[in-house]
Structure 1
């Protein structure tokens, strides 16, 4: 299977995303296009649940490339992310050589530090050639990793290579498509950001979020989708929540309400299902009950007012 060509224009990049159901604004399509054409890593920052990780998945699907995911966490190191040696297999090799009387230390050292005993982790796998073309390397939630781990990535991001002391430098014939995401729980060092193109992925406006719901939850009634989006947009704009709902939570809530055969927001059902939308008890208690009822009433008044406005002339 041969590699699929990269999109040649911003419009083609936007169409590529749209073909997979990803509703992107023009600025994201532009920076993604530049990242692909310039072969530079793309650093996506934003709140959780706004669709950063999905960009890498969409690229993998639409371009027919392998997706290699490195999920970051506290304590992540080079052995888990880049490579490590198969020590048990090396010990067996040493014992076999000793039993055969082959005790030349220099020869033995070169024998055990061979690619046969190299365990390749996500970063090193992403540098390997593939008939499908360079893979998509997703470095997800980098801010969860320790700051020291960022230093391991600088060589990869700048030169698409890693240096293994026992083997030397391994360089990709073609650089992988690198997508880095962060939820901004801590600042990422400037040295890493300089090697990337940057984009802040914001919450979508109401029109775009409604389009996302329609595409991702096609079974949701039109009125339900409108009211769910209006409710979530109000929460983000007006309520002082510990954690605002992302697009992922909007989709989950629309799906849940559809599963309950709701065709519009019912205040009681909305209150009972807030745990799908909000993930902290203090936020749920702040909104549920009379607050939900008032918000639903306001949404319907606004909708009725908009429906009765005369069309503009011109």
Structure 2
């Protein structure tokens, strides 16, 4: 079971395995939604007092879930006594969710549904974080020849030989964004105008918002639902339709994508869980109440969506 949200805390971008049981809640110190068990893997995020926000995934028996359309969740535990959350179908139990706990569907497989949830736990339940290497300072060596991708699952832009030195800039979902150094003749270079930023992680944006707000970014995302902006998301004009999407993939967080009015009908026809590669301008690095970036949609680059 993998959980995620990356921020500037000492645990950021580093999954943590719980060694003790701990309740998870919607907000710090509020109503308990369930319990995470020893062995659950979480990715910590924001902190508030003695609490820390985490995101987690697991598998729930599909018959124990009902539909939900609130706060970005599309399924809810409907069994009165609650239900187990497992690390795999019929796998080890890593959490117990109470009736009424909402989740986001990731995928379905036979009798099982893989779900995701962001919640708060007591920070003392996390293991002590390991010492961090500052971003951009961690030296690494490529151990085998491998294609170099523009983004996770994106186009191949080159090939890196075994033994090549690199600097790790960011990590997300089992992938690392690296910087390589080399030389090319001036005759093959052309200065880029208004470049589209690819492979940028949410952690990088949160760490340096002023660098990225207003820039054009390309992200691969997974559609969750269409929503209407309200007072809880003042960064989005009231009443505007936005797309709640998981991503940027493979990160397990979320993105709000503000849609041009003329494209709303097109997106209403796209089924949930469709993966799209979108280009947009970063409106905000986070919202007032959630660590969710806001993107103004410019176009859909891939995924058979509207263009």
Larger radius of gyration: 1
How high is the TM-score relative to the length of structure 1?
0.23
**Higher percent of residues as helix:** 1
How high is the TM-score relative to the length of structure 2?
0.24
With CA pairs under 8 Å and 6+ residues apart, which has the higher RCO, 1 or 2? 1
